[in-house]
Amino acid sequence: LYAQILTATLLLSTLYLLFCSERVKFFPLRAIAVGIIVGASILVTPPIAMVLLSILVLTLVLRTLSLPAATTIAVTASLTITPWLVRNWIVFDRPLLAATGGITLLQGNSENSQPQIADPDISRYREAAKGLDAFESDRYYRNAAIEWMKDNPRLALTLYVRKVFQFFNFQEKYATPGAGNWSIELLMFVSYYPILILAILNFLLVRRWPLSRPETILFLAYLGGATSYAIFLVRLRYRI
């Protein structure tokens, strides 16, 4: 099952608690609640940590969040994910959140990778990783992706830029026959593009309609999400 719906719920809860007032003052219970939700979001979807970290930093830079509140959120989030890290350390001798980052990096950075292809063919790497445990195979996939990028720097850079733009697309291709259909693409188009167009118009007319601090943070965090996910594999469901 995909975790994006739960992740989106946790992310929206975080944003609500952060921005439900114009100025988030230091209320310990509120900061602790945000920290717990942030930690839970990272446990459910580890890559979202990059987006959440950027939001936290931006709230400090734009003085939307006080330093004590930000510290409480960071400490609480760290304590929330610590038991899982300890568990993996005991069981696998590695204090890691998950063993999926390597394969996602490889899917987005290999000879068969394309921005619009959601599940590129990496069968030869899977074959080579047979017999390895989850973390060893993850390390193999990660090293293979890094090696490909080192050997093809110009191609990797071009691919990265294309993946950033793909983040804002409404359709993607699947290697699996029958996956995806026109009705899903139509739903994605009519539900996403009007919001995206309004957001772009708001940004272009920012002198006439200035952005509030929370809106500025959301704009920058969303762009940060596009540039972060493009390092790995861009899937439209990651954008939810």
* Burial of 178 per CB tally in 10 Å (0-12, 13-18, 19+): exposed
Q: Output the CA–CA distances (angstroms, integers) from residue 161 to 103, 121, 149, 204, 236, in the order listed.
A: 20, 21, 14, 22, 16
Q: Do 80 and 35 meet the contact criterion of CB atoms below 8 Å apart? A: yes
- Supply the pLDDT for residue 119: 81
Instruction: Give 10-residue mean pLDDT values along the chain (240 residues).
Output: 78 85 63 92 86 84 83 93 90 78 90 87 91 87 95 95 91 65 81 89 87 84 86 74
Q: Is 117 helix (H, G, I), strand (E, B) or coil?
A: strand
Write the DSSP symbol of residue 24: B
- Look at phi and psi of residue 61 and say left if phi exceeds 0, alpha if psi is from -120 to 50, else beta: alpha
- Amino acid identity of 184? I
- Supply the pLDDT for residue 236: 72
- Supply the pLDDT for residue 1: 52
- Amino acid identity of 172? E
173 token code pair: 């291709």
- Supply the pLDDT for residue 184: 77
Q: Which residues contact 60 (CB under 8 A, 6 or more apart)?
A: 67, 70
Say how far apart CA 185 and CA 189 lie, in whole Å: 6
* Burial of 74 per CB tally in 10 Å (0-12, 13-18, 19+): middle
- Supply the pLDDT for residue 145: 95
Could you give the angle at which helices 28-44 and 48-61 cross, rounded to 10 degrees?
Answer: 150
